[in-house]
Chain A
Amino acid sequence: MMIRTQILFPPDLLESARLYAASRKLSLSELVRHSLTTKIKPKKKMSFYVAMSRLSKIMSKKKIKVPADFATNDKYLYQRP
Chain B
Amino acid sequence: MARRLRASALLVYTILVFVFLFAPIALVVLFSFNKTASLTFPFHGFSLRWYRAVLESPSYRDAIFASLRVAVISVVVVVVVGTAAGIGVTRYAFRGSRIVRVFLFFPAALPGLFVGIALLSFFVQTQVSLSLWTVTAGHLIYVLPYFFLVVTSRLQRFDYMLEEAARDLGAGPWATFRRVTLPLIAPSLIAGALVVFSLSWDEVFITFFTIGAQNTLPLVIYSTVKQSVDPSVNAISTLLLAGSLVFVFSVRRLAADLQQ
A binds B: no
